[in-house]
A and B are shown apart, each in its own frame.
Chain A
Amino acid sequence: MKPIRIALTKGRLEEHSIELFERLGYDCRAVREKGRRLILPIAGTNLEVVLAKAADVVTYVENGVCDLGVVGKDTIMEHGGTFYEVADLGFGKCRFALAAPKGKDFYAGYQTKRIASKYVRVAHSFFEKKNMDVDIVKIEGSVELAPILGLSDGIVDIVETGTTLRENGLEVVETLAQVSARLIVNIASLKLRKAEIEPLLTQIEGYLKENQP
């Protein structure tokens, strides 16, 4: 029978995700010793793990080639899409924030502000809700550089501890949203393969409830 495929986000969330499945009693050896393989079976089950970049996890789940996915809320907010977001897994915590050079009133003055961000959609919708016209510049690497170099008045980025901001003379002006890892499910999969997916979801929810901070 067709396996249930779970897409996990590579990198920051990877270790936490694998740990979660191990605590639930799944044998993740193949995932840990993945080598160059891209699709990794979980021994003794009908589950398969795919490791992918965050935005691709959303794409795979949305299109139904993976049934479930673990991905950060930051990616979900930036990427959008249609799927069920069934659980907050509690790890990978950080927040979206608007930051500007320390001691400067970001909102002062009437000229249109310029914002640098990797997350252009998040930045757009934030300022749209404030009915504020801004110019948004997409930056791929270290966004903190943009205000230092004088390219922008502020940045929208994910902030974990705030150390990077402080070290670069920036401070948080406003928090946009809290971010953490989420479990997402393809809409059709949940309906077509309810008998297989639902017990897994119940198991994960049960675990999260028990281990609430």
Chain B
Amino acid sequence: MKRYDKITPEGTRDLLFEECAAQDQVVAALSGLFSRRGYRKVVTPTLEFYDVFAESSAHFPQENMYKLCDHAGRLMVLRPDCTIPIARLAATRLKDSPLPIRLYYAENVYRVEHHLRGRASEIFQCGVELIGASGILSDLEITQLAAESLEQIGGYRMELCHIGYFKALIDSLEADDGLKETIRQEIEEKNYAALRDVLEPFGDAPAAKALLYLPRLFGGEEVFDEAYALFDHPAARQSLDYLREIYQELRTLGLERQVLIDLSLVNEADYYTGIIFRGYFDGVGEPVLSGGRYDNLIAEFGEARPATGFGINVEPLARRMEHIRHTQPPILVFCPREQFAQAVRHIRRLGQQGAAAELSTADTQQEALCQAKEQGIQRVHVITPEGEIKEVELP
């Protein structure tokens, strides 16, 4: 019995007409920007071997991946992310390419989401990776490009962090890895109460006091002074100097209102190695852009390369596209069976003039006029049995 033949799986959906147009428009705007900046498009397979993601420091829990088997019984997944396949590519087929390599992608990723949360499990992402460059110019390029990407679509905010500050704090704390991970989680969630409890045993240790204050370290320029004062340590200072340089450069570009600092942005701390950033879009309750520097990832595939990049969720941006280009309704072309060739020639001519035309499938002119009326088509061209073209008024 067919029970599920008229619905789509939870977390997926059909995109119709304007929805497609909106998505295409966002993707076109982003791809256009990326390629104007020298990024070249790559497409990786939707199916990858499980091993590509299984041990990754980016950490994809196995329960969040869709899995299937190939003909040899090997485990495969629907890619849950675009960056890791690109890292694989960079370490294999592109390993002898001159550096830096600039790549961009626009494809679906698949994640098993919690039941009934209204979250998509098929997510269209568009993003860039800059591979083989490690200087501050590459971090500046990527953060600026991220800001410009969102700017193209509408009102946004971007937050910046340097994972080095958090790492300096947590490394100077004498705790086991499990406890450190708990501390990291509480900071990420800005859970002040829980953070106070787990840091209590460390008393007045400067690192513990700084960690406790970390979730509050977000805002503008003033955050730096607080952060410097909170923890005086060479590695922490170095990270802050670096972050401040980027922040100030973005301000010089006029992004003072859009960019803020959040030193508690410590998600995926094992994966990121330097600058981390996220972008928010007006009216969207979750980050739409996330990115950062991940210098150790490509080495997991056997070739060490520094790298940085970001990905954007296209769907929330597409939903906010208000002015979808209004397309003219097509012209309906009716022809009797024996004038089909003439009708095609006519449609091609209209096309060359920039007008869209569709062939009527009706058997009689009257039926064609009814069809036009039902579909809101205002112009009908009729090919007469003699091959002449007439414009017919709708009744």
Contacts and interface: CB of A to CB of B under 8 A. Distances in A.
Contacts of B260: 191, 194
Interface in B275-289: 280-287
Interface in A168-194: 182, 185-192, 194
Contacts, number: 59
A64 B287 CA distance: 11
Contacts of B281: 188
B270 interface: no
Interface string B212-225: 00010011000000
Contact of B285 (A63, A80, A87, A88): A63
B280 A182 contact: no
A14 interface: no
Given A59-B117, A64-B286, A194-B219, A86 B191 contact: yes
Contacts of B118: 63
B282 A192 contact: yes
B192 interface: yes
Contacts of A80: 114
B253 interface: no
A91 interface: no
Interface in A194-213: 194, 205
B159 interface: yes
Contacts of A205: 192
A191 B191 contact: no
Nearest to A182: B193
Contacts of B19: none
A188 B289 CA distance: 11
Nearest to A64: B285
B180 interface: no
B107 interface: no
A182 B194 CA distance: 11
Nearest to A186: B285
Interface string A146-175: 000000000000000000000000000000
A191 B193 contact: no
B191 A188 contact: no
A112 interface: no
A86 B190 contact: yes
A27 interface: no
Interface residues of A, number: 25
B59 to A, nearest CB: 15
B129 interface: no
A42 interface: no
Nearest to B280: A188
B315 interface: no
Nearest to A66: B285
Nearest to A59: B117
Interface in A54-96: 59, 62-65, 80-88
Contact of A187 (B194, B282, B287): B287
Contact of A85 (B117, B159, B191): B191
Contacts of A194: 218-219, 260
A191 B261 CA distance: 10
B189 interface: yes
A189 B260 CA distance: 14
A176 to B, nearest CB: 15
A64 B281 CA distance: 12
Interface of A: 59, 62-65, 80-88, 182, 185-192, 194, 205
Interface of B: 114, 117-118, 157, 159, 189-194, 215, 218-219, 260, 262, 280-287
27 contacts: A59-B117, A62-B285, A63-B118, A64-B284, A64-B286, A81-B117, A82-B286, A84-B190, A84-B191, A85-B190, A85-B191, A85-B193, A88-B193, A182-B193, A186-B285, A187-B285, A188-B280, A188-B286, A188-B287, A190-B190, A191-B159, A191-B218, A191-B260, A192-B157, A194-B218, A194-B260, A205-B192
